[in-house]
Structure 1
Amino acid sequence: MTEADFAFLRQLLLLRSGLALSPDKRYLAESRLGILCRRRGIEGLAQLIQALRFGADPTLEHAVVEAMTTNETLFFRDHTPFELFRDVILPERLEANAGHRSLRIWCAAVSTGQEAYSIAMILDEMAPRLAGWKIQIVGTDISGEVLDRARKGLYSQFEIQRGLPIQMLLKHFYQEGDKWRISEKLRGMVELRQHNLLEPSGHLGQFDVIFCRNVLIYFDVPTKARVLDGLAPRLLPQGALLLGAAETVIGISTSIVPDRQHRGVYRGQHSVHAQPAGLGLPLEPIRAAVGLRH
């Protein structure tokens, strides 16, 4: 791939997906797009870039974006955000929403579904407390391919071993050959939609909790600000945003601010920082069932 072709590709990815591909990632582009060329019967990378320049195939651009998108994820990734969700955010939202008994959660960049299904497992453990509540988990991703995998809920032994407590495996999965499929019940708790975080998201509505974790790390600062400013209106008053451990809003956006009491939790700029709600939820049994570390 020539310098000019790589520069064109970097600009295309930035505009279409927000992905800021650094100059040292040419090898990655050549590897992933080489596979794409073979799949689509394109002679080589030069021909691929030429086709992109002239827009000869309307589906090609999207295929390139999908090929270059990183879809690294695992069940209960990093543990702490799920503990914050269970121990801090859920009690807040259950108290705030007691009147209408509904709860909406958005997993942005849901990839192959492990994050959304981890949330569903936590909520399933709280089923007696949530009886009569309308719960909606919406998972979105730019990639239709990974969403298809998420809908199937079928995972390899390697994927299962990465973060999933054994009791959750036995309760919510059944084996199919050398793979494991998540239960129909949990799949039914998650609604999956294709969505680009750089595009307007008003059609998704507002949410009590937004997980947008390990996404901003792939964007440059202006794109990070654009994404955060787009997420802010999607948060309900007192709603919470959870980012990845290496991500922050500080110095990037003023529409989202860190929670003063809970590290790793972010709020809309105009929200009053919520106090932990004393609902008397059976958190210790939930900790034991879900298998999250303190």
Structure 2
Amino acid sequence: MTEADFDYLCTFVRARSGLALTPEKRYLLESRLQPLARTRGFETLAALVRALQAGGNGELEQAVVEAMTTNETFFFRDKTPFETLRNDIMPRLLEARAGSRSLRIWCAAASTGQEPYSLAMMLDQMGERLAGWRVEILGTDISTQALERARAGLYSQFEVQRGLPIQLLVRYFTQVGDQWQIAPQLRERVIFRPFNLLHDFSPLGTFDVVFCRNVLLYFDMALKADILARLGRQIAPDGCLFLGAAETVIGLGDEVEMHPTLRGVYVPRRRGATRAA
């Protein structure tokens, strides 16, 4: 692959997904796109690039973006965010929303569904405390292939062994051949839809809780700041944002700030508040 082709693909992927590919990621680009080129009938990666440059093939463009998407996820990943939500955030939100009895949660990089289904299981276990409440869980992702798997709720033995306690496997899953399918009542609780984080968030509405974990890692600083600013505007004033353990908002604008006591939790900056010197 020539430098010109590499530069074109980096620009193409960045413009459509936000993924920032540095020169040391050249191997990743080649390893993911060469198999795609072969399955699409292109003899070389260069031929695939020429097809992209010609334009007019939206299916190929989406396939390239999906090939570059990282769908690493598992049930109850890192545990702490789910414990914090259950033990610290939910009691406060239930009190604050007692009048409307309504909550909205957004998983902004839902991948194949493990994160939103983990939330659905957690909420189901809250039992009577949520009786009569309307709780919407929205799971979005740029990858339509990942979302198809999420909607089906079918997982391999390896996938259900990653982070899922055995008691929850027994309670919420049914074995289907050599796979496990999550219970219909939990599949019905999660709405999956394709969404690109580069696009306008406002049509999605306001959320009480947003999980946007381990996705900002793949973006450059300017895009991280832009996404955080827009997330801050979509979260209710008393809502919260969960980022990944390796992610931070330091140096990335003023729309959100660290929760004063809860690690890994961020809240919209109070309107009119200024950053400390």
In the alignment, structure 2 segments of 5+ residues that lack a partner are none
Per-residue Cα deviation, 1:239-271 (whole angstroms, up to 9, x for no partner)? 000000000111112111111121111001127
Residues in 2 aligned to 1:3 and 1:264: alpha-carbon distance in whole angstroms: 39
Shift of 1:165: 0.2
Percent identity, aligned pairs only?
59
Tell me the C-alpha RMSD between the 2 structures: 1.3
Cα pair 1:211 1:242 within 8 Å, conserved: yes
1:206 aligns to what? 206
Per-residue Cα deviation, 1:60-95 (whole angstroms, up to 9, x for no partner)? 211111100100000000011111111111111111
Cα pair 1:238 1:272 within 8 Å, conserved: no
1:189 aligns to what? 189
Aligned 1:267-278 pairs, distance under 5 A:
267-270=267-270
Cα pair 1:207 1:236 within 8 Å, conserved: yes
Secondary structure of the structure 2 residue equivalent to 1:180: strand
1:254 aligns to what? 254
Secondary structure of the structure 1 residue equivalent to 2:127: coil
1:276 aligns to what? none
Distance 1:2 1:119, change over 3 A: same
Q: TM-score of the superposition, structure 1-length normalised?
A: 0.91
Shift of 1:39: 2.1
Code of the aligned partner of 1:43: E
Distance 1:206 1:54, change over 3 A: same
Q: TM-score of the superposition, structure 2-length normalised?
A: 0.96
Secondary structure of the structure 2 residue equivalent to 1:59: helix
Aligned 1:128-207 pairs, distance under 5 A:
128-207=128-207
Residues in 1 aligned to 2:30 and 2:183: alpha-carbon distance in whole angstroms: 38
Residues in 2 aligned to 1:271 and 1:209: alpha-carbon distance in whole angstroms: 18
1:36 aligns to what? 36
Cα pair 1:113 1:147 within 8 Å, conserved: yes
2:101 aligns to what? 101
Code of the aligned partner of 2:258: P
Code of the aligned partner of 1:82: F
Per-residue Cα deviation, 1:160-208 (whole angstroms, up to 9, x for no partner)? 1000000000000000111101010110010001100110011111100
Secondary structure of the structure 1 residue equivalent to 2:148: helix
Secondary structure of the structure 1 residue equivalent to 2:175: strand
Cα pair 1:238 1:271 within 8 Å, conserved: no
1:216 aligns to what? 216
Code of the aligned partner of 2:105: I
Shift of 1:51: 1.0
Shift of 1:272: 11
Distance 1:208 1:63, change over 3 A: same
2:4 aligns to what? 4
2:123 aligns to what? 123
Per-residue Cα deviation, 1:128-174 (whole angstroms, up to 9, x for no partner)? 11000001000000110100000000000111100000000000000
Residues in 2 aligned to 1:84 and 1:42: alpha-carbon distance in whole angstroms: 49
Code of the aligned partner of 2:27: Y
Shift of 1:56: 3.9
Residues in 2 aligned to 1:208 and 1:103: alpha-carbon distance in whole angstroms: 6
Residues in 2 aligned to 1:164 and 1:220: alpha-carbon distance in whole angstroms: 32
1:225 aligns to what? 225
Residues in 1 aligned to 2:75 and 2:124: alpha-carbon distance in whole angstroms: 15
2:82 aligns to what? 82
Q: Which runs of structure 1 show a deviation greater than 3 angstroms over 4 or more consecutive aligned residues? A: none
Moved more, 229-238 or 50-59: 50-59
Residues in 2 aligned to 1:10 and 1:38: alpha-carbon distance in whole angstroms: 20
Code of the aligned partner of 1:12: F
Moved more, 51-60 or 91-100: 51-60
Residues in 2 aligned to 1:234 and 1:190: alpha-carbon distance in whole angstroms: 19
Aligned length, in residue pairs: 273
**Highest RCO, 1 vs 2 (Cα 8 Å, sep ≥ 6):** 1
